[in-house]
Structure formats: structure tokens, C-alpha cells
């Protein structure tokens, strides 16, 4: 019998980065329940999840354990606490049992509390426990509803909420799923100066005015009014709220008038940000912007947003309406009319309405959907056809939409229906379609495929029933569907409902929450409940299900709902489920689901037990001997440090040396490294510039910021300390003095050595023990003892001394002359015994290259007959590759430029006379190749060079006239004329001499001069460097320097002419410069400009000079003079300036290889400097920065 084992430490072996990524797919409750106190490392890794804890949608027993064991331990770390009231107060009641009187002690640092899915009665019970919390100032309530008519009134609830935490709350927020509040007259006298921010839903306009009278210090108010209000109460005290700076009014279902809106504005005279989203029937003052603009001109508005929805409007002049707004407000206004011309919308840009309820015919307007689609989060469309493909052009623009509600009321197919492909909508999680009209299955399939995170559905019975007949659709839904609400709006018999539940169980096995809502409460549902209990073995993840708006049989209620389920189903008679029936709603909450499934499927209970609990059954099938005292294959693991710490937590907390046992809390930091851009405008386009989501995700890896998980104490780990310990041991062993040992008998080799020393001319002193090998050491010791004098008498030897004094004296003596490296001689730990092998990862760093700046100062021939054009590029002779792109520049005089009449338009980037060559692999074998071209002319190349080589002054005018003719006819074409090469060694020749490097063969043409532009070696540090020192000098060249690139031109220059070095017969490999370390030393000292003057160039012999020809010439230049063959030279005058751009230096007015401007770029009129593209000879592994 083969047994497959699973390593329990496999999850723990993941690095922290992977564990944090896994935690992103789990809720905070699952994380703290599963990983808290599992071991010290995992507890520290998930410590950030202690700051925001969500208590909701967890089984009862798990929730009970969290409240009993985990929350008291981590309560001081919690800053945000989310409490869900699932199952009509079950969770909140359990929470109150533990923390009703201990909230301020258990959660002393909580700042924000979120209460979800509460009913009025349970919320009234829970709020009094929130008191004496000094840091608690923000309260959010979501999904607040009322299930019974006799519950607490809403105005009393609102007063209780305002009084929470001893009136310390500063911010109270109700989401859009909460019920509407009323504010009665007896609450007007209550003042709450502590509140500064409020988001609330009110019943009518009078409630808003009453609320403003109580909140005198309010700064931020977001209110929604959904019901038709009564006339404004004239007895209300309409005092102003001078502190209000932000006001948002949302009321699309209420028909407003201009006077009602002005009554609110009068009470907020200091408002700075105003957002209005209202509806009206046909109030002209709200439709035209003149009156509203006149009144708002008295306000100091910084931001104004306006959205008006008008119904029952026909043949409106939209252009005229827009003109009344554009002349009054600075922002843009639009007026959109629906296709049936029955409704109208006026809105300003930017559009900021996250929650919209629109008619489908209005939302399909392409202009309007492009405006609102960016910001909308919840979209409700009514009057939608069963072919929901008509709403695809709308939702494709809503990239951030989280919920979509469709009210399908038409079965007709739109006339202008176009097939459109949906792009990915990762934010969409909730879809609602509760009308009885079925929707097209192909359209719904497209919606599912474009929404990978859509898991929550609320569908009508007539909508979901056709889906169960399509296998592909069921497979896709089965993988995602976790929450399902089915609305029953028609009369359905019990058999059809039972069939529906059976098909749901087989199609959607991953379902976690299932709810039914009946329109008619007279339908019998007892068989439906029992059918769901029967199919529990297929729903392996089902946590809860409920049925709303039903009437259970009185006999069942009198007997007890739980007992009825036990008698008529296979549910076990334990605490594995909870039941509840109130307000016509039945709920069943499952607990130990695996045990329930095991009982329902009649499986043996030991089949679900772990492997080691079936030990007897497994051993009976094995053929091992029956008597075996020790299992030879068992491996004894060492003591787990983290497990030991957890088991002895109480003992360690009282230990005075606790800080030596536990890891520090600040060990892990999550560091964000901002993306650095060299260019003024980022080269990579923004994410919104492209429509393909895959391309956008790829670009995000370039545009996004780096995130680095830094371990502050990782340098104490074995990966780093092991190497340091070994180095310290080697240094300590060198400092230990050599020990001399006495040998009683000398071997033959030692005696031979003594004889040689005796016969040698240089007499060395030899000890008596060496000269008399037969004399033993004890005999010599006896002789020494006879000659020695007796020791002094110790008078206090036999005196009685207290033991404390002896210990103290011994402790002082042990501290004297103590060797600090006592354990350095102990063998280091073997690599196989190390727990940690990986060195710490470092943040991504850009690759540092050597950058050579070349600036052409002057160029001319004698005589100047025609324009010449120069091209520069770098070649690596050793790798036999071209390592840079070409750099073209033009130094011709204006007179020579006028000879080419067909000269094209000159771009600003072509005026550059200076270039920067990046060199990733600096080498003395790199050459700067200079190519010279001229205008194409007839004749041989020798004829073209003859006027410059003979210096014929008589025929100079004739040559110039011929050149003018060729320029006029063939000015667009070029021909090669001359070339030359400058070795990187020649450029650094001055520094080579200063650093005492021997001479080498020169590739410069005759009569070339090398001029140093600064004082001779004034800044050089003349040090005798070994191989290590040369390497350190190279490292210093790579480091960033704080010096500016701009050199101090006011320094006194000492130009010195250095005669050219003639080729020598010494081989290049024999020179010291050929070694890499010494060349790096030269680069490290290259910290000043170098001027190089060429007084001659090589005439080009062939019509085309290929790269292979260049390498052949460069190889000949390195040969001895007797064997070298150099081409003929042409007199010329070319002057270059060479400089090194150090890492960290900035160059003003520089362009990169794609001609993008680099930072800084201060002067547009200045000639730019080009940074050329490098062709590295070897692969460079660079981070994508």
C-alpha cells in the first residue's frame, strides 16, 4: 500500500513576498484565523493585517474562537474594525458577549469602525458599547435596513448614532444601501458640535433643514434625498452653517424647484466646493443657467459640479440651453436629449457622479457615455431590451464600474443593434436583473467572459432558468458564482422549485450563499427547504441560505423550526447549524460542513481523519515486522525555535533578556522606489493612450514604481555573517603569535640541519638542547632549578578569605589580558548546516557605463575648396565590432554651405557639435574612427585628393570653380574622401604618462599634437597602487560624484605640446597598459578635459571602406614600423576636446538616442549635445528601468 505524504513545511518555505501575495486573495478574517500564532515568522509577516480587521461571513464557531482568543491579543494593533451583523444579530450578539464592557480596553487605538448589514434593533443594542474610545472618531454604517414595523423609530436611531462614543465622533457615513432617515422637531434643539463630516440619506427637504440646525460645526456634507417632500416648513429656524466648505446634494428621484435649492444655499454662505445632482420637471431657472449663476456669484466657489435630469420635455433647444451656461460658468456644459425626446440632461465637466440611474435611451448617447463612464461605480439602467448587447457600448466605457443593475422591460430587438466586443472589466463584481423578462444567453455569455471577477448575482427565476440548459454557461458560472439571489415573481409549484434547487446544486458546486425572495408570501416553501437540505452534500462550500417573504406553517413554528429540520432531514443533532425565522424570512447557517457532508453521504467518519489517525489500519496492510522498537527511516528534527517561543510565551515575556530571544518588530519595511525618468517627457506612453489591455499591462511594468521589501536586520543572518566570520578568523589567526615547542628527541633531518648550520660561514646561535640531542628536557630543567633562587614567601597564603572576595578578584583577573578572538580558531560552520543561503536582494540599480564626451572645436583643409562632412563612431578591435552609432556634424563655413543650393531644411538636433559615447566595456582596444566625405565628383579618388596634397596655389581658383559646378549638380550625393583613427589609449596618453605607464604604439597621423587643458597633474593623487588598489581606483570611477559637469573655466591653463610617440617594436601585450587593472586606473584619473589636434588624415584608397578594412588597418598600426604599412596622409586641421561624464553628473541641453530631451534642458537656442546609441559587444543584463 503506497502512501503519499505532504510536507507540512512546504507553505512555510515560501518567501515573505509570496506569502503576502497569497494573503491578497484571502479576507482578513481568514488570514488572522489561519496564520496568527502559527509561528513567529508568519505572525510577523501578517502583522499589517492587524490594522484592518473584517469580522463577517465566517462560521459561528470560527467567529467565536476569533473573539475569544485572537482579538484580545491583537486588539491594540487594530485601527479599522469592520463588524458584520450576519444572521439577524447573531454575530453582533456574540461580539457583545465578549467586549460589551471592554471595548476601550481591548481596542484602545481603533480609529474607524464600520458596521454592515445591521437592522435597526440590533444596531440600537450595539451602539451603547462604543464608548470611552479615545481614538475612535469615524463611523461608517452600510446596508442598514428595517425588517419589522414595530422597531425603533428612525429619528431615535439617528440621535443614538450622533451620541455614540460620548459624542466624540467627527465623521459619520451612511452608504447608499441604508434606509432614509427622518429628523423630527423634538430633535432640533440638540446640538452636535463634534461632527465635521456627514454622509446621509434623508426623506425630504425639511429633514435637511432640521439637520443643518443641529450641526453647527459641519465642514463636509453629502446628502441624498429620495422621497417627494412636503412644502417648506416656515417655522423652521434657518440659521447659517458658516463652517461648511463642501456640500453635495444627490436627489434624482425628487422634482426640485429653484426656490427650494436657493433655500439651502442661503444656509451655506462659505461653501467652496458645490456638487448638485438633482432632477426637475420643468423649472426654467434650473434649466437655464443665468439665474443660478447670478446667485452663486456671491460665493467663493473653487469647484462647481452640476447635473440636472429633466423629464417630460419635448423639442428642447439644446444649443440655446448650453449657451446660457457657457456664458456664466468657466467650465464646459453639455445638454443631451434622449432618443425619444422625452428626457433631457444638463451636466458640467468634469463629470463626478459615481452612482447613476439612467434610462437606457439616454445613456446610449455617445457623447454622454464618454463623459460619465470614467467615474461611475454603480450604474442602473432601466427600459432595457432583452438583447442586453444594446448596453455594451455603455458599459464598455465604465472601466471602474463595480455593480450593474439592468431593468429589462422590453422584449423587442432594437433597430440599430450593433455587435460590439467588450474589453476586460476587472472591477465588476455584482450583476442584478430581477425583472421576469429573460435575457439573451449569448449576450450574457459575453458579459461573463469580459468580467473575470463577477461572482455575485441577483437574477429572476425566468432569467436563470434558461441558463441551466447551456453547458458552457453553467461551467463558466460554476467556477465564479459564490453569491446568488433568485427572485420569484410568478406563481410556481413546489415541484418546479425542487427541480430548480437540484439543478443548481449540480451546476454550481462552489456556491457559498443562496437566497430566494418570493413576491407572493402564500406559496408553500417547506418542501423547498427540505430539498436544499437534501442537496447539501453537493454544495461543499455552502455557508448559508435564506428565503424571504414567506409564511411557514404554524405547526412547524409551534414545534420548533430546528426540531422540524432534525425530524425531516439528515442534518445532525449538534451545533453544526443555526436556524432563524423572523419578519417572514427563514435563514439557515451551516457550521462544521465537512462533518455534515460526511453524515449525509453515509461515509465512514474515519475516512475524513488525517493520515496519522488511521495508523492501526495502515500498519495492518504493511509487511514490516510486528516487533519494531525504532523506525530506522524516522528523522529526528531539531527543536523548532519559533515553536519553542510560542509554547513558552508567558515565560519569555517575563524574561529580562527578552529582546535577545525575539525578532524586532521593525525588521520588515515595505519601501517604494519611485521611477526615475531621464527625459523631460516620459518616452513610454501613458496607460490610457492604448486600448489593448494586454499592452497596457506590459507598459505598466515600465511606468510603475518599484517596491522593495527591506529587511533591516538581515545583515545579522547567516548569509552575510558567515562570510564575515571567516574573514575575521583568518585575520585573527594571522595575529596569533607562533608557539615554540620543546622536543626531547631530534630526528635525522633536524640533526642534518644542525650540521649544515655549523659548517656554514654564517654562524647562527643554536640552543644547547639542539646541540646536545641526547640530553633530556627533565635534566636541563633540573640544572635550571638548581641555579634558581627560591620564591618569595606568600604571607597571606593560609589566611581565610571570604568566598565573595575570591570570586570578585577572579573576575577581575579573568578580564585582564583577555584575548578578544578566543573562538576564532574554532572551525567555521559548514555550508550544509546553514539555515539561510540566499543573500539579501538589492533594489534594481541602473547599469553604470563609462561615458566619453567628444566635442569638435575646429575642422578645415588647406586650401578650403569645397564643403566636407565628418562622421564619428567607435570600434572595438579586440571584439572586432562596431560599438556605437554614427555621429554626423557639420563645421563648414557659411561660404562653403552656400555652395550646396539644394540643402534640405535643417533640424535643431543636426546642429550638434558634441556627442556622448556610452562604453559599457572600456578597453585600450577601442578606437574613434573619423570618416570624411565630400560632394560626389567625377574622376578617381586620387584626382580628388590631389589639390589638397600638392598645395597648388596657382590652380586653387580653378579647383574651386569645379567644386561649385559639382555642388550644383550633385550636391545631394556624397563620396568617401579620407579617414583616420584615434585610439582610446591616445586620448588618455597624457594621463598614462602622469601615472607612469610605459609608452605604446600610436595610431595618430604624423604631426598630431596632444594638449592637456589643465594644470599638470595638480589634481592627481600619485600613489603606488597594487592590483587591488587599481581595482579600487576603477570602482571609484564608477561611483556617483557630487561634482558638477561644468568645469571651472577660470582656472589657469598650462597647455603643453607633447610630441607624437613613434611606433615601437615592443609588443602591445608587453606594455603595462595592456593589463585591465592599469587601464582602469587611468580611467579613474581621467577627470579633466583633454584637447587633441590632428594635422593630417589618411587618404582613402578604395571607393568603400568596410568594417573589415578598418580592422585590417588598425591591426597594421600595431605592427613594428618596419612591417607596418600606413596609407598616405592629407594635411588637415581637426581639433577635438575629450571629457568623461561621471556617474551622477548632469549635462545641460542633451538629447538621447531617440532625440528626446533629457533633464535638464534650460536653453532652447543652445546647440544640443547628442547621447549616441551603444552597440555593446557582449550581452548586458539590465533591469527594465
Q: Are 910 and 1167 in contact (CB under 8 A)?
A: no
pLDDT at 682: 76
Question: Which residues on adjacent β-strands are paired with residue 144?
Answer: none
Q: Are 407 and 381 in contact (CB under 8 A)?
A: yes
Local structure of residue 67 (DSSP, 8 states): I
Joined grid coordinates for residue 134: 479615545
Local structure of residue 1014 (DSSP, 8 states): S
Local structure of residue 150 (DSSP, 8 states): T
| Each residue's pLDDT tens digit, 247-299 | 999 888 788 888 889 989 999 999 999 999 888 887 888 888 888 888 888 88
pLDDT(130) > 70: yes
Distances (CA, A) of 828 to 10, 714, 730, 1079: 29, 20, 11, 38
Comparing C-alpha atoms, which of 681, 1156, 1159, 1175 is closest to residue 909? 1156
Helix, strand or coil for residue 157?
Answer: helix
Which of these ranges, 234-238, 391-395, 632-636, 1146-1150, has the smallest mean pLDDT? 632-636
pLDDT at 842: 63
| Each residue's pLDDT tens digit, 232-243 | 666 677 788 999
Q: How far apart are CA 262 and CA 455, in angstroms?
A: 44
Residue 431, phi-psi category: left (phi > 0), alpha (psi -120 to 50), beta (remainder): beta
Joined grid coordinates for residue 653: 515575556
Local structure of residue 773 (DSSP, 8 states): T
Q: What is the mean pLDDT of residues 675-688?
A: 74
pLDDT at 141: 92
pLDDT at 199: 93
Q: Are 379 and 406 in contact (CB under 8 A)?
A: no
262 contacts: CB under 8 Å, gap ≥ 6: 295
Q: Are 1078 and 1025 in contact (CB under 8 A)?
A: no
Residue with cell 440548459: 469
| Each residue's pLDDT tens digit, 717-764 | 666 776 777 777 777 777 766 767 666 555 555 555 556 555 555 444
pLDDT at 491: 79
pLDDT(479) > 60: yes
Joined grid coordinates for residue 782: 633540573
SS3 of 880-948: the string is CEECECCEEECCCCHHHHCCCCCCCCCCHHHHCCEEEEEECCCCCCEEEEEEEEEECCCCCHHHHHHHH
pLDDT at 1149: 93
DSSP 438-477: ---HHHHHHHHHT-TT--EEEEEHHHHHHHTT-HHHHHHH
Q: How far apart are CA 772 and CA 745, in angstroms?
A: 10
pLDDT at 845: 65
Q: What angle do CA 145, 148, 150 make, to 5 degrees?
A: 120
Share of the chain above pLDDT 90, in %: 14
Q: What angle do CA 1084, 1085, 1089 make, to 5 degrees?
A: 115
- Give how far the C-alpha of residue 1014 lies from the chain's centroid of Cα atoms, to the nearest Å: 48
Q: How far apart are CA 719 and CA 723, in angstroms?
A: 7
Strands 1009-1012 and 1057-1058: antiparallel
SS3 of 1093-1136: the string is EEEEEEECCCCCCCHHHHHHHHHHHCCCCCCCCCCCEEEEEEEE
Q: Are 346 and 283 in contact (CB under 8 A)?
A: no
- What's the pLDDT band for 6 if we cut at 50, 70, 90? very low
Q: What is the mean pLDDT of residues 469-490?
A: 86
- Give how far the C-alpha of residue 281 lies from the chain's centroid of Cα atoms, to the nearest Å: 49
| Angle between helix 526-534 and helix 494-507 axes, rounded to 10 deg | 20
pLDDT at 928: 95
- What's the pLDDT band for 1015 if we cut at 50, 70, 90? very low
pLDDT(1168) > 90: yes
Q: What is the mean pLDDT of residues 880-908?
A: 83
pLDDT(919) > 60: yes
Q: What is the mean pLDDT of residues 1004-1023?
A: 42
| Domain covering 51-179, topology | 3.80.10
- What's the pLDDT band for 138 if we cut at 50, 70, 90? very high
Residue with cell 548546516: 833
Comparing C-alpha atoms, which of 36, 95, 109 is closest to residue 70? 36
| Each residue's pLDDT tens digit, 1031-1080 | 343 343 334 333 332 333 333 333 333 333 333 333 333 343 445 667 77
| Each residue's pLDDT tens digit, 147-196 | 555 556 787 888 889 999 988 999 999 988 888 888 776 666 678 888 99
| Each residue's pLDDT tens digit, 327-371 | 778 888 888 887 767 778 888 887 667 777 777 877 777 777 777
Joined grid coordinates for residue 394: 455603455
Distances (CA, A) of 807 to 795, 801, 811: 20, 11, 6
pLDDT at 119: 81
Q: How far apart are CA 541 and CA 587, in angstroms?
A: 17
Comparing C-alpha atoms, which of 371, 322, 309, 362 is closest to residue 339? 362
Q: How far apart are CA 449 and CA 423, in angstroms?
A: 9
Comparing C-alpha atoms, which of 221, 267, 271 is closest to residue 241? 267
Q: What angle do CA 860, 1149, 1171 make, to 5 degrees?
A: 70
Q: What is the mean pLDDT of residues 1069-1098?
A: 73
Amino acid at each position: 500500500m503506497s502512501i503519499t505524504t505532504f510536507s507540512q513545511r512546504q507553505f512555510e518555505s515560501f518567501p515573505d513576498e509570496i506569502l503576502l501575495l497569497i494573503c491578497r486573495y484571502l479576507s482578513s478574517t481568514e488570514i488572522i484565523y489561519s496564520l496568527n500564532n502559527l509561528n513567529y515568522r508568519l505572525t510577523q509577516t501578517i502583522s499589517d493585517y492587524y490594522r484592518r480587521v473584517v469580522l463577517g461571513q465566517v462560521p459561528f464557531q470560527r467567529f467565536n474562537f476569533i473573539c475569544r482568543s485572537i482579538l484580545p491579543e491583537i486588539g491594540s494593533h487594530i485601527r479599522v474594525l469592520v463588524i458584520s451583523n450576519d444572521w439577524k444579530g447573531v454575530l453582533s450578539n456574540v461580539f457583545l458577549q465578549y467586549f460589551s464592557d471592554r471595548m476601550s480596553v481591548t481596542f484602545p487605538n481603533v480609529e474607524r469602525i464600520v458596521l454592515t448589514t445591521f437592522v435597526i434593533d440590533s444596531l440600537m443594542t450595539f451602539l451603547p458599547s462604543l464608548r470611552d474610545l479615545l481614538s475612535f472618531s469615524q463611523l461608517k454604517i452600510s446596508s442598514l435596513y428595517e425588517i419589522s414595523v414595530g422597531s425603533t423609530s428612525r429619528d431615535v436611531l439617528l440621535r443614538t448614532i450622533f451620541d455614540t462614543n460620548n459624542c466624540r465622533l467627527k465623521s459619520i457615513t451612511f452608504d447608499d444601501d441604508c434606509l432614509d432617515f427622518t429628523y423630527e422637531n423634538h430633535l432640533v434643539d440638540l446640538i452636535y458640535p463634534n461632527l465635521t463630516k456627514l454622509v446621509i440619506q434623508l426623506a425630504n427637504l425639511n429633514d435637511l433643514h432640521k439637520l443643518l440646525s443641529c450641526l453647527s460645526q459641519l465642514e463636509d456634507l453629502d446628502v441624498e434625498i429620495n422621497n417627494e417632500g412636503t412644502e417648506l416648513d416656515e417655522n423652521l429656524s434657518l440659521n447659517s452653517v458658516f463652517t461648511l466648505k463642501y456640500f453635495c446634494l444627490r436627489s434624482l428621484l425628487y422634482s426640485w424647484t429653484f426656490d427650494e435649492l436657493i433655500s439651502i444655499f442661503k444656509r451655506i454662505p462659505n461653501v467652496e466646493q458645490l456638487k448638485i445632482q438633482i432632477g426637475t420637471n420643468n423649472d426654467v431657472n434650473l434649466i437655464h443657467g443665468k439665474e443660478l449663476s447670478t446667485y452663486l456669484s456671491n460665493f467663493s466657489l473653487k469647484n462647481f459640479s452640476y447635473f440636472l435630469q429633466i423629464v417630460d420635455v419635448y423639442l428642447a433647444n439644446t444649443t440655446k440651453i448650453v449657451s446660457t451656461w457657457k456664458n456664466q460658468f468657466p467650465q464646459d456644459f453639455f445638454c443631451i436629449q434622449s432618443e425619444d425626446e422625452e428626457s433631457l440632461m444638463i451636466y458640467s465637466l468634469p463629470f463626478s457622479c459615481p452612482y447613476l440611474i439612467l434610462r437606457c435611451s439616454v445613456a446610449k448617447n455617445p457623447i454622454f457615455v464618454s463623459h460619465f463612464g470614467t467615474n461611475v461605480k454603480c450604474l442602473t439602467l432601466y427600459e432595457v431590451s432583452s438583447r442586453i448587447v444594446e448596453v455594451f457600448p455603455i458599459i464598455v466605457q465604465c472601466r471602474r464600474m463595480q455593480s450593474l443593475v439592468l431593468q429589462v422591460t422590453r422584449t423587442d430587438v432594437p433597430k440599430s443593434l450593433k455587435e460590439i466586443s467588450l474589453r476586460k472589466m476587472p472591477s465588476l463584481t455584482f450583476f442584478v436583473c430581477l425583472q421576469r423578462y429573460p435575457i439573451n444567453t449569448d449576450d450574457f455569455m459575453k458579459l461573463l467572459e469580459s468580467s473575470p471577477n463577477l461572482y455575485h448575482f441577483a437574477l429572476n427565476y425566468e432569467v436563470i432558468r434558461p441558463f441551466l440548459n447551456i453547458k458552457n454557461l453553467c461551467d463558466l458560472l460554476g467556477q465564479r458564482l459564490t453569491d446568488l439571489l433568485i427572485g420569484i415573481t410568478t406563481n410556481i409549484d413546489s415541484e418546479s422549485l425542487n427541480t430548480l434547487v437540484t439543478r443548481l446544486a449540480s451546476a454550481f458546486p462552489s456556491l457559498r450563499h443562496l437566497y430566494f425572495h418570493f413576491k407572493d408570501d402564500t406559496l408553500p416553501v417547506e418542501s423547498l427547504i427540505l430539498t436544499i437540505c437534501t442537496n447539501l452534500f453537493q454544495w461543499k462550500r455552502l455557508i448559508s441560505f435564506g428565503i424571504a417573504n414567506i409564511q411557514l406553517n404554524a405547526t412547524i413554528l409551534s414545534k420548533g423550526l430546528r426540531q422540524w429540520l432534525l425530524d425531516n432531514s439528515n442534518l445532525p443533532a449538534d451545533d453544526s447549524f443555526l436556524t432563524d425565522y423572523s419578519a417572514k424570512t427563514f435563514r439557515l447557517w451551516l457550521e462544521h460542513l465537512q462533518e455534515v457532508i460526511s453524515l449525509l453521504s453515509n461515509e465512514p467518519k474515519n475516512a475524513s481523519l488525517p493520515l496519522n489517525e488511521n495508523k492501526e489500519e495502515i500498519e495492518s496492510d504493511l509487511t514490516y515486522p510486528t516487533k519494531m522498537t525504532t523506525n530506522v527511516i524516522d528523522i529526528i528534527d531539531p527543536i523548532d525555535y519559533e515553536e519553542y517561543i510560542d509554547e513558552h510565551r508567558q515565560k519569555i515575556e517575563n524574561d529580562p533578556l527578552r529582546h535577545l530571544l525575539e525578532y524586532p518588530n521593525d525588521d520588515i519595511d515595505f519601501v517604494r522606489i519611485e521611477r526615475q525618468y531621464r527625459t523631460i517627457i516620459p518616452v513610454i506612453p501613458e496607460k490610457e493612450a492604448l486600448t489593448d489591455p494586454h499592452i497596457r499591462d506590459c507598459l505598466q511594468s515600465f511606468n510603475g514604481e518599484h517596491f522593495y521589501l527591506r529587511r533591516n536586520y538581515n545583515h545579522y543572518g547567516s548569509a552575510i555573517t558567515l562570510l564575515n566570520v571567516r574573514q575575521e578568523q583568518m585575520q585573527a589567526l594571522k595575529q596569533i603569535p607562533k608557539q615554540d615547542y620543546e622536543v626531547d628527541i631530534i630526528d635525522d633531518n633536524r640533526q642534518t640541519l644542525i650540521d649544515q648550520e655549523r659548517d656554514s660561514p654564517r654562524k647562527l646561535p643554536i640552543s644547547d638542547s639542539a646541540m646536545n640531542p641526547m640530553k633530556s628536557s627533565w635534566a636541563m630543567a633540573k640544572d635550571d632549578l638548581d641555579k634558581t633562587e627560591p620564591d618569595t614567601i606568600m604571607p597571606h597564603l593560609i589566611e581565610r578569605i571570604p568566598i565573595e572576595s575570591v570570586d570578585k578578584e577572579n573576575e577581575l583577573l579573568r578580564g585582564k589580558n583577555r584575548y578578544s578572538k578566543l573562538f576564532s580558531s574554532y572551525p567555521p560552520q559548514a555550508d550544509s548546516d546553514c539555515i539561510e543561503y540566499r543573500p539579501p536582494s538589492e533594489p534594481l540599480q541602473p547599469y553604470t557605463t563609462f561615458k566619453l564626451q567628444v566635442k569638435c572645436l575646429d575642422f578645415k583643409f588647406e586650401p578650403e575648396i569645397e564643403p566636407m562632412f565628418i562622421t564619428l563612431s567607435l570600434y572595438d578591435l579586440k571584439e572586432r565590432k562596431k560599438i556605437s552609432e554614427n555621429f554626423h556634424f557639420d563645421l563648414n563655413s557659411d561660404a562653403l554651405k552656400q555652395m550646396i543650393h539644394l540643402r534640405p531644411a535643417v533640424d535643431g538636433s543636426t546642429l550638434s557639435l558634441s556627442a556622448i559615447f556610452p562604453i559599457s566595456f572600456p578597453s585600450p582596444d577601442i578606437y574613434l574612427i573619423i570618416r570624411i566625405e565630400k560632394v560626389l565628383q567625377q574622376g578617381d579618388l586620387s584626382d580628388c585628393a590631389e589639390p589638397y596634397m600638392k598645395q597648388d596655389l596657382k590652380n586653387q581658383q580653378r579647383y574651386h570653380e569645379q567644386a561649385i559646378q559639382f555642388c550644383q549638380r550633385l550636391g545631394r550625393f556624397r563620396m568617401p574622401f579620407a579617414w583616420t583613427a584615434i585610439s582610446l589609449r591616445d586620448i588618455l596618453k597624457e594621463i598614462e604618462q602622469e601615472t607612469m605607464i610605459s609608452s605604446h604604439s600610436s595610431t595618430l597621423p604624423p604631426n598630431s599634437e596632444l594638449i592637456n587643458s589643465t594644470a599638470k597633474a595638480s589634481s592627481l593623487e600619485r600613489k603606488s597602487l597594487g592590483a587591488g588598489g587599481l581595482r579600487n581606483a576603477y570602482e571609484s570611477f564608477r561611483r556617483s560624484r557630487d561634482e558638477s559637469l561644468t568645469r571651472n573655466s577660470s582656472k589657469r591653463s598650462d597647455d603643453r605640446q607633447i610630441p607624437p610617440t613613434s611606433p615601437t617594436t615592443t609588443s602591445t601585450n608587453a606594455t603595462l597598459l595592456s593589463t585591465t587593472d592599469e587601464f582602469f586606473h587611468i580611467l579613474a584619473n581621467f577627470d579633466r578635459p583633454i584637447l587633441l589636434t590632428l594635422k593630417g588624415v589618411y587618404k582613402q584608397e578604395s571607393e568603400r571602406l568596410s568594417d573589415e578594412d578598418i580592422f585590417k588597418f588598425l591591426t597594421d598600426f600595431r605592427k613594428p614600423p618596419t612591417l607596418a604599412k600606413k596609407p598616405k596622409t592629407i594635411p588637415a586641421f581637426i581639433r577635438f576636446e575629450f571629457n568623461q561624464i561621471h556617474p551622477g553628473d548632469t549635462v545641460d541641453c542633451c538629447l538621447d538616442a531617440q532625440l528626446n530631451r533629457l533633464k535638464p534642458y534650460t536653453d532652447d537656442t543652445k546647440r544640443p549635445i547628442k547621447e549616441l546609441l551603444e552597440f555593446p559587444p557582449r550581452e548586458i543584463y539590465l533591469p527594465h528601468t
